[in-house]
Amino acid sequence: MTRRKYVCLGIAFAILISILWLFFTPDTKEVHFSERVKISLRDVGNQLLLENQDTVSLVLPVIEINELNYELSFERPLSITPNNIVSIVKESFHRAALPGQYLIEVIQCKDQEVAYSYSILNDIERDIIPCSNRVLPENCFTIKAQFIQGPPPMLNKQQVLLLLCILFVLFIGLAYWDRLYTRFRESVPNQHHTSNNTHTAIGIFKFYPEQNKLVKEAIEIGLSKKECELLAIFVSQPNQVVKRDELTKRVWEDNGVIVGRSLDTYISKLRKKLKDDTSIKITNVHGVGYKLEMNE
Per residue in 141-174, pLDDT (tens digit) is 999 999 987 666 555 556 666 776 777 777 677 7
Domain annotation covers residue 20: yes
Q: In whole angstroms, how far apart are CA 284 and each of 164, 180, 223, 270, 288?
A: 52, 32, 21, 13, 8
In a domain, 195, yes or no: no
Q: Are residues 263 and 225 in the same domain?
A: yes
Instruction: Give pLDDT, residue 29.
Output: 45
Domain assignment present for residue 10? The answer is yes
Which domain CATH number covers 243?
A: 1.10.10.10
- pTM, full prediction: 0.45
| Average of per-residue pLDDT across 68-89 | 94
Residue 256 within a domain: yes
Q: Are residues 174 and 251 in the same domain?
A: no
What is d(CA 262, CA 268) in angstroms, rounded to the nearest whole number? 10
Same domain (yes/no): 261, 221: yes
pLDDT at 190: 45
User: Rounded to whole angstroms, how far apart are CA atoms 42 and 55?
Assistant: 14
| Residue whose C-alpha is closest to residue 145's, from 66, 78, 209, 203 | 66
Check residue 130 and give its pLDDT: 84
- More confident: 155 or 51: 51
Asked if residue 141 lies in contact with residue 80, where contact means CB atoms within 8 angstroms, the answer is yes
**Are residues 251 and 273 part of one domain?**
yes
**Final residue belonging to a domain, choices 164, 187, 210:** 187
In-domain check, residue 193: no
217: pLDDT strictly greater than 90:
no
What is the model's pLDDT at position 72?
96
Looking at the structure, do residues 37 and 142 belong to the same domain, yes or no?
yes
Q: Is the pLDDT of residue 7 over 60?
A: yes
Report pLDDT for 85.
Answer: 94
pLDDT of residue 260: 64
CA–CA separation, 249 and 185 (whole Å): 19
Average pLDDT over residues 231-251: 89
Note the pLDDT of residue 51: 93
Q: Which domain holds residue 159?
A: 3-28+154-187
Domain membership of residue 192 (yes or no) is: no
How many domains does the structure of the chain reveal? 3
Mean pLDDT over all residues of the chain? Answer: 82
72/163 same-domain check: no
On the question of pLDDT at 91 being above 90, the answer is yes
